[in-house]
Homo-oligomer: A and B are copies of this chain.
Amino acid sequence: MSMSPATLPVPLPAARSRPAAAGRLAESARTVPGLAGFEQTLKEARVRVRTLTETVPLDRLDRWHHDEGTGFITHDSGRFFSVEGLQVEAQSPSADWGQPILNQPETGILGFLVKEIDGILHFLAQLKAEPGNRNGLQLSPTVQATRSNYTGIHGGRSVPYLEFFQDPARRQVIADVRQSEQGTRFLRKRNRNMIVETAEPVETRDGFVWLTLGQLHRLLATEDLVNMDARSVLACLPLGDGAAPCAGDDDFASGLVRSLAPGAPELHPPTRVLSWITEARTRHETRVRTVPLDSLADWEFTEGRISHRAGRHFDVIGVRVEARGREVGQWCQPMIRARAEGLLALLVTPVHGVLHVLMQIRAEPGLVDTAELAPTVQCTPDDCARLPAREQPFFLDLVQSARAEDIRFDTALSDEGGRFYHTGSRHLVVETDWLPEPPRFRWLTLGQLEELTRHSHYLNMQARSALACLRSLVFAGRR
C-alpha cells in the first residue's frame, strides 16, 4: 500500500442529528391541499389502466410446473418465486404443522421518492394495477421492484425513477431498512424500504402523482387505496423529531404527538423491551424445513388449487393476467387467496398524557429471526370463530365489541396485489382504558416503535401496516 496518510486532510465530523427532513416531514404531514384533483386523476387512470385477472387451475399455468425433484411449484426459468411446503417443528411434536409458503429469495426495493415543491415535501406515488387488486389501481410507492424487475428478467421495461434509489449522489437517505414480508406466507422474504429526497428536477411521468404526507395520511382512510407496500414504507418514516403538539389539537392528537417525540415518558425502558424480545425469540425458536407440497398432511390439491382440508387459512390458486400499463402484457402465476377477511387491530391508551400502543410479540415460521412485534390483534375472525374459547386471541372480543366513539380508525386495506388475490384486512385503532399486559404483550410509545423500525426484524408487516394507519392520525391536517 502506498498511501501517505499523514498528508490526507482529516474530515470534519457530521453534525449529530437526524436527517434534516424530520421537521419538514411533520410540516408535510400537517399540509393537506384538497384532493379533488387527485381523485379526478385516479378516476381517469382507472379507465385507462386495467388488469384482467382470470382464475385458472394451478396445473395449467403457462411457464409454471410442479417440479418432480423438489415437489414445489416453480417457474420454468427457475426465477421469480416458488410455492413450497413448509414443515414447522414447534416445541412439542403435537404442535408441529405444515403449510404451503412462497419462497422468493431476493430482496426488492420499495421506495418513495420525496422532493420539496413550493417549500413542502411531496411524495411521488404511483397509481399501480396489480392482478390481485379488488379494485384495479391502488397507490403504491414510487418504486416497487423485485430484483427480477430491475435486472430485466421479466423482459419488460426498465423501472422508472429507480436511479434515485441506486445512485447515492442523486439523493439524501431519509430511511433505508430491510423489513420482513408476512412470515406466515413468505419464507425469509424481505424488502428494502427506502425513502429518499432529491434536489434534482424530476419529471412527473404518466401514472405518478405528487402528494403531501398529509394527503397520503388522509387517503389511508379510503378503502383499498393505499397499498400494502406504501403502508410498509410510510411506517419507516422518522416523524418523531418533528413532533410538537399544536394548539387546538384534541387530547387524542396531542397524546399521539407526545408519544412520537423522542424522550417521551414510557412505561418500559428500552433495555427491558429489548430483553423481552430476546427472551421471546429464544423461547419460541422453531425448526423449519421445506418439504414437497404433497407431503403436507392438512392440505390437498383439489379443483386446480391447494386448499386446507378444513377450509381454513388460504388457498394457493392460479391466475392468468392481462394488463395494460404494466411492464409485461400477459402472464400466468400462482397467488395466495385468503379464505376470509383479516383483522389487524391496535389498542391504544394514554398513560399520563402519552399514548401507548399494545403490541404483541409473535413467532411466525417464515421470519428470519423467529418473532417480531405484531398488532394487538392479528387474526382471521372467521377462523377464530371455530376455535374453543381458551384458544381465542387475546383482546379479539374487546376489539370486536368496541364502542363507536372509541374507534379512531377503521378501514379495509389490501395485501400486496402482486402475490395476494382479493385479500386484505380490516385495520382498526381502538382507544381503551389501560389494561394489564399478558406476557406476550407490552404497551409501547410511538417513539419506541419508531426507533425499532430503523432496524430490521422488529416490526412485522402487519404491525407496520397498522402503525401507518395510527400514525396517519398524528398531525391534524389543515387544508
Interface set of A (CB-CB < 8 Å, partner B): 1, 3, 5-6, 8, 10-19, 105-107, 173-178, 192, 238, 263-272, 274-275, 278-279, 281-282, 285, 287, 349, 351-352, 354, 368-369, 395, 397-398, 432-436, 454-457
Q: Which residues of B contact A238 (CB under 8 A)?
A: 271
B13 touching A351, Cβ below 8 Å: yes
Q: Which residues of B contact A397 (CB under 8 A)?
A: 1
* Complexed CA–CA distance, A106 and B455 (Å): 23
B16 touching A269, Cβ below 8 Å: yes
B5 touching A435, Cβ below 8 Å: yes
Closest to A178 in B: B278
Q: State whether A107 and B285 are in contact (beta carbons under 8 Å apart), knowing that A176-B274, A267-B13, A272-B173 are contacts in the complex.
A: yes
B268 touching A14, Cβ below 8 Å: yes
Point out the residue from B12, B178, B265, B269 that lies within 8 Å of A281, measured CB to CB.
B178
B285 touching A106, Cβ below 8 Å: yes
B176 touching A278, Cβ below 8 Å: yes
* Complexed CA–CA distance, A12 and B267 (Å): 7
Q: Which residues of B contact A176 (CB under 8 A)?
A: 271, 274-275, 278-279
* Complexed CA–CA distance, A354 and B16 (Å): 13
Q: Which residues of B contact A369 (CB under 8 A)?
A: 178, 368-369, 456-457
CB distance from A90 to the nearest CB of B (A): 13
A5 touching B271, Cβ below 8 Å: no
Point out the residue from B1, B8, B175, B271 that lies within 8 Å of A433, measured CB to CB.
B8
Q: State whether A19 and B271 are in contact (beta carbons under 8 Å apart), knowing that A352-B10, A398-B1, A457-B456 are contacts in the complex.
A: yes
Q: Which residues of B contact A8 (CB under 8 A)?
A: 433-436
B454 touching A457, Cβ below 8 Å: no
Closest to A175 in B: B271
Q: Which residues of B contact A433 (CB under 8 A)?
A: 5-6, 8, 10
B269 touching A14, Cβ below 8 Å: yes
B192 touching A278, Cβ below 8 Å: yes
CB distance from A140 to the nearest CB of B (A): 20
Closest to A286 in B: B105
Q: State whether A13 and B266 are in contact (beta carbons under 8 Å apart), knowing that A5-B433, A271-B19 are contacts in the complex.
A: yes
* Complexed CA–CA distance, A278 and B455 (Å): 9
Known: A5-B435, A16-B265, A274-B454. 12 other contacts (CB 8 A): A1-B395, A1-B398, A5-B433, A10-B351, A11-B267, A11-B351, A16-B266, A175-B271, A176-B279, A177-B278, A192-B278, A369-B369
Q: Which residues of B contact A285 (CB under 8 A)?
A: 105-107
* Complexed CA–CA distance, A285 and B146 (Å): 14
CB distance from A373 to the nearest CB of B (A): 14
* Complexed CA–CA distance, A457 and B458 (Å): 12
A265 touching B13, Cβ below 8 Å: yes
Q: Which residues of B contact A5 (CB under 8 A)?
A: 432-435
* Complexed CA–CA distance, A17 and B8 (Å): 40
* Complexed CA–CA distance, A352 and B279 (Å): 40
Q: Which residues of B contact A10 (CB under 8 A)?
A: 349, 351-352, 433-434
Q: State whether A13 and B436 are in contact (beta carbons under 8 Å apart), knowing that A105-B287, A274-B176 are contacts in the complex.
A: no
Q: Which residues of B contact A105 (CB under 8 A)?
A: 285, 287
The contact sample of 15 A-B pairs, CB cut-off 8 A, is A1-B398, A3-B435, A8-B433, A11-B267, A11-B434, A14-B265, A14-B267, A14-B269, A14-B272, A106-B285, A107-B282, A107-B285, A274-B455, A369-B457, A456-B457
For the complex of A and B, list the 3 residue pairs with the smallest distance between their C-beta atoms, beginning with the closest: A13-B265, A5-B433, A176-B275
CB distance from A372 to the nearest CB of B (A): 12
* Complexed CA–CA distance, A176 and B278 (Å): 7
Q: State whether A17 and B282 are in contact (beta carbons under 8 Å apart), knowing that A275-B176, A352-B10 are contacts in the complex.
A: no
* Complexed CA–CA distance, A107 and B178 (Å): 24
Q: Which residues of B contact A192 (CB under 8 A)?
A: 278, 282
* Complexed CA–CA distance, A337 and B3 (Å): 36
* Complexed CA–CA distance, A42 and B447 (Å): 48
Q: Which residues of B contact A268 (CB under 8 A)?
A: 14
Q: Which residues of B contact A435 (CB under 8 A)?
A: 3, 5, 8
